[in-house]
Amino acid sequence: DADVTQTPRNRITKTGKRIMLECSQTKGHDRMYWYRQDPGLGLRLIYYSFDVKDINKGEISDGYSVSRQAQAKFSLSLESAIPNQTALYFCATSRTSGGSQETQYFGPGTRLLVL
Amino acid sequence: LAKTTQPISMDSYEGQEVNITCSHNNIATNDYITWYQQFPSQGPRFIIQGYKTKVTNEVASLFIPADRKSSTLSLPRVSLSDTAVYYCLETDRGSTLGRLYFGRGTQLTVWP
């Protein structure tokens, strides 16, 4: 979805390096998420944020940190990258809907290779 | 922690109807069933959602029986461009968490 953008789209880094993946959205949504996808494992939630002052750990937050710089921006950092963090990373957004179902909108993904 | 079970893969030919079944034996009263579609090198995309009986939109139909322990996504007259991974998820109607649990999905391959 063009309303959710991720940079970079592809990244190669070395073990021990710090890297940041960025996500921006123009949908005006308050909720943002970071997932990783590994072959054959579906998507797993890393971190999520319901507004600028709210950050929550997901299933697999170890080795990652996030920053919600503004409602439209949510960054994922790997403080010291390791090879098993090689994966496809997706950012997603949704709008709080007062108890009814929310649809999440995903970005195009960032393919990360850690050597 | 995916809460649903679906086939790993399915094959079909162009023009056929495809039905993908999902099991959710322990679905909670507040849960909806939601399906996402993912093309290679793209993020998942919402396609349909339902609570019970039948829901239809321009892309697919979703059938949920009265006991709600399973559901079936129906894609009419598939084309090559329907080749994708399809995910079945339980989503909590009343949840303030907004979290989605994706399993491995079903890889649908449509052949000419």
Alpha carbons B71 and B68: distance in angstroms, whole number: 7
pLDDT over 70 for what percent of chain A? 94
Give pLDDT tens digits for A4-43: 999 999 999 999 999 999 999 999 999 999 999 998 778 8
Task: Provide the 3-class DSSP secondary structure of residue B82.
Answer: helix
Handedness of CA B84, A21, A45, B34 (dihedral sign): negative
Q: Which residues on chain A are in Cβ contact (under 8 Å) with B91? A: 101-102
Q: Which residues on chain B are in Cβ contact (under 8 Å) with A102? A: 91, 98
Q: Which residues on chain A are in Cβ contact (under 8 Å) with B42? A: 106, 108-109
Contact assignment for B41 to A109 by CB distance below 8 Å: yes
Contact assignment for B43 to A100 by CB distance below 8 Å: no
Q: What is the pLDDT of residue B94?
A: 55
Q: What is the pLDDT of residue B101?
A: 77
pLDDT over 90 for what percent of chain B? 65
- Both tokens of A2, joined, read 């063009």
Task: For the beta carbon of residue A108, count every other beta carbon within 10 angstroms.
Answer: 16
Give pLDDT tens digits for B32-57: 899 999 998 889 999 999 998 899 99
Task: For the beta carbon of residue A45, count every other beta carbon within 10 angstroms.
Answer: 20
**Residue of B6, B22, B91, B102 to mutate for A, most A C-beta atoms under 10 A:** B102
Alpha carbons A106 and A31: distance in angstroms, whole number: 12
Cβ-defined contacts of A38-44 (< 8 Å, 24+): A38/A87, A38/A88, A40/B104, A41/B104, A42/B2, A42/B87, A42/B102, A42/B103, A42/B104, A42/B105, A43/A90, A43/B44, A43/B100, A43/B102, A44/B102
Interchain contact A22–B (C-beta under 8 A): no
Does the pLDDT of residue A109 top 90, yes or no?
Answer: yes
Does the pLDDT of residue B95 top 80, yes or no?
Answer: no
Q: Of the ranges A38-47, A85-94, B71-80, which one carries the lowest mean pLDDT score? A: A38-47
Q: What is the pLDDT of residue A98?
A: 58
Mean pLDDT, chain A, integer: 91
- DSSP H stretches of helix in chain B: none
| Average pLDDT estimate for B97-103 | 72
Contact assignment for A50 to B43 by CB distance below 8 Å: no
C-alpha angle B100-A110-A3 in degrees, rounded to nearest 5: 70
